[in-house]
Amino acid sequence: MKREQWASRFGFIMAAAGSAVGLGNIWKFPYLAGTQGGGAFLAVYLIIMATIGVALIMAEIGLGRAAKRNPVGAFSILGGKKWMVTGIIGVTTSFMILAFYSVVGGWTVAYIVKSIFGTLHVNEPDLLPGQFNDLVTSVGEPIFYHGVFMAMTAGIVLAGVADGIERSVKVLMPLLFALLLILVVRSVTLDGAWEGITFFLMPDWSQVNGPMISAALGQAFFSLSLGMGAMITYGSYLDKGANIPNASYWVVFLAAMVAVLGGLLVLPAVFAFGMDPAAGPGLTFITLPAVFGEMFGGYIFQIIFFVMLLIAALTSSISLLAIPVAYFAEEFGIRRSVSTTLVGLVIFAMGVPCSLAMGVWGDIKFFDMNIFDVTAYAVDNYTLPIGGILTSLFAGWVILERLGSELTNEGKLRFSAMPAFTWLMRIVAPAAVLWVMVSNLLG
């Protein structure tokens, strides 16, 4: 059977950028920046994206294209059986992330519906926290929307790499950028926005500290979909002629830009209406609707916002689902359609306890955390960092030469950053991630 391929380079860049740009950029990044000191956090995040981020994304895409396989197959073909475990960690992580990611994706669908029908209490901001709480803690409603979100994800993946994923991201990603720009323009032109803009863009270096750097590194990883084989999987569908370094620069640039725009959308609006930028995870679902309620044209902007958030989530969730789908199809010969349906159902089932953990199952605790939080915690603190360390060590020490020839298309392209790439993969990335992991565990 002929392996699927991206139909165009633009399609690949949109797919990879779509994977990177997600809830992480628009939901998590602004609230992290809000709680971690604004501009300084942004600066540290951008530095990490431009160094470790760029190098690791290139390595993953290169590994994928060199092996033309899912992450498990890729590591074992290129490095032998003992490296297979890195791929297995990746596939396992994709199940875990998608389980809770889809629950949050479901909330965005719910908020689109509520926005359209005008049932969000945007004019009584005091009721918004309760309303959000009611949604996430109830049983049927969030599970229903989680199912809707998973069905959309599986529907796109089911249609195939070029006909499903690529076709949809080519429309969705430009749409996302357009909607985001509209919202940013609205936000930065609000009276009183300036304070938020300076908070976000002017670094106050005294805010830089260990926990903040560690949060920025974790965010850069999650936001570039690194450490779990998403980019290996997408890279595996890339044709031999494509310029990987160039595509990687684009993807990192677009992901960083959306994080910056996400911050410029959320923080100025929050400041302009005198709300608390450090409101945390509720910023998107509680604070912003209150802002929309006070804003001229808020009804429309609110719908645009949640539609944009859904697009961001969906173009990421399809890349998460693509990982296990490729794995089961290639390693066990299961038909793609069957594999997509089965994996989709399993992940839906895994998401149910994550959703219930917000409410009726909130008392079921592991290490003092509910099921949702423990899953996110395990991913953030263990599987992604370990995946990242192993991937960079593998790239830097085991197959550096092979990878070098992959990145230069067998010497046909110039890649002058190869020495920097080598250092980043061999020493800098593994050491930085290890430091973060250990300090999180100790702290």
Binds ligand PFF (CB under 6 A): choice among 109, 230, 258, 286: 230
Region binding ligand PFF by CB under 6 A among candidate stretches 16-24, 31-39, 244-252, 269-277: 16-24
Q: What does the alpha-carbon distance between residue 208 and residue 172 come to, in Å, rounded to a whole number?
A: 36
Those residues with Cβ within 8 angstroms of residue 119's Cβ, 6 or more apart along the chain or in another chain: none
Six token digits for residue 222: 């999650």
At closest approach, how far in Å is the CB of 19 from ligand PFF?
Answer: 5
Binding track, positions 297-326, relative to ligand PFF; x by CB under 6 A = -------------------x--xx------
Residue type, 137: T
Region binding ligand PFF by CB under 6 A among candidate stretches 19-27, 210-218, 299-307, 325-333: 19-27
* 107 near ligand PFF, judged by CB under 6 A: no
Region binding ligand PFF by CB under 6 A among candidate stretches 5-13, 14-22, 234-242, 324-332: 14-22
* 392 near ligand PFF, judged by CB under 6 A: no
Region binding ligand PFF by CB under 6 A among candidate stretches 39-47, 153-161, 224-232, 434-442: 224-232
Which SS3 state, helix, strand or coil, does residue 139 take? coil
* 215 near ligand PFF, judged by CB under 6 A: no
At closest approach, how far in Å is the CB of 100 from ligand PFF?
Answer: 11
Q: What does the alpha-carbon distance between residue 71 and residue 188 come to, in Å, rounded to a whole number?
A: 42
Residue type, 290: A
Q: What does the alpha-carbon distance between residue 262 and residue 284 come to, in Å, rounded to a whole number?
A: 11
Q: Which is it for the CA torsion 326, 330, 335, 339, positive or negative?
A: negative
Q: Which is nearer to ligand PFF, 90 or 268 (CB)?
A: 90
Residues 262/31, Cβ–Cβ less than 8 Å = no
* 23 near ligand PFF, judged by CB under 6 A: yes
Residue type, 83: W
Residues 82 to 101: which contact ligand PFF by CB under 6 A?
97
* 20 near ligand PFF, judged by CB under 6 A: yes
Region binding ligand PFF by CB under 6 A among candidate stretches 4-12, 15-23, 177-185, 396-404: 15-23
Q: Which is nearer to ligand PFF, 58 or 197 (CB)?
A: 58
Buried b or exposed e, range 385-424, using 16+ CB within 10 angstroms = bbbbbbbbbbbbeebbebbbbbbbbeeeeebeeeeebbeb
Six token digits for residue 66: 């060199």
Binds ligand PFF (CB under 6 A): choice among 222, 327, 348, 372: 222
Those residues with Cβ within 8 angstroms of residue 104's Cβ, 6 or more apart along the chain or in another chain: 23, 27, 313
* 223 near ligand PFF, judged by CB under 6 A: yes
Q: What does the alpha-carbon distance between residue 426 and residue 176 come to, in Å, rounded to a whole number?
A: 36
Residues 39/202, Cβ–Cβ less than 8 Å = yes
At closest approach, how far in Å is the CB of 166 from ligand PFF?
Answer: 16
- Burial (0-12, 13-18, 19+ Cβ within 10 Å), 171: exposed
Q: Which is nearer to ligand PFF, 19 or 392 (CB)?
A: 19
Task: Tell me which residue of 126, 135, 128 sits closest to 108, measured CA to CA.
Answer: 135
* 25 near ligand PFF, judged by CB under 6 A: yes
Binding track, positions 403-442, relative to ligand PFF; x by CB under 6 A = ----------------------------------------
Q: Which is nearer to ligand PFF, 272 or 376 (CB)?
A: 376
Q: What does the alpha-carbon distance between residue 200 and residue 30 come to, in Å, rounded to a whole number?
A: 9
Footprint of ligand PFF on this chain (CB under 6 A)? 19-20, 22-25, 97, 222-223, 225, 228, 230, 316, 319-320
